[in-house]
Amino acid sequence: MNRDFLEDLATKLRGLRRERERGLFYGVCAGIADRFEWPVTTVRLFAILSLIVFFLPTATIYLAAGLLLPAKPLTFYGAREDRFWRKAGRRNSGRCCP
């Protein structure tokens, strides 16, 4: 391993966060997929396969990552959600109670 490879890897790992919006358990796989721009399904399949073959190391690393990685802030999730909230706001405007 040369120094450039390690610096590049360290740069990529700096932005690693848990993805709570698309995550199933802790959001670790979704965070890895988001950071490295890989499909989430591929990362999850790789995690399941490594969990079957190397159970204890994979489970330990996954749990440690789930507890130590910071969570990605929740963000706006698309036009569909926007339409929902706009419609809900018009429905309740001008009224005190439902």
Annotated domain spans of the chain = 17-73
Q: In a structure prediction context, what are the per-residue pLDDT tens digits for the chain, which is 98 residues long?
A: 677 776 776 666 677 778 877 778 888 888 888 888 889 899 899 999 999 999 999 899 888 888 888 887 776 666 666 677 677 665 555 555 55
DSSP 69: S
- Give the count of beta carbons closer than 10 Å to the beta carbon of residue 43: 18
The whole-number pLDDT of residue 54 equals: 92
Instruction: Answer whether 0.75 is exceeded by the pTM.
Output: no
Distance of CA 90 to the CA centre of its chain: 33
Distance of CA 88 to the CA centre of its chain: 28
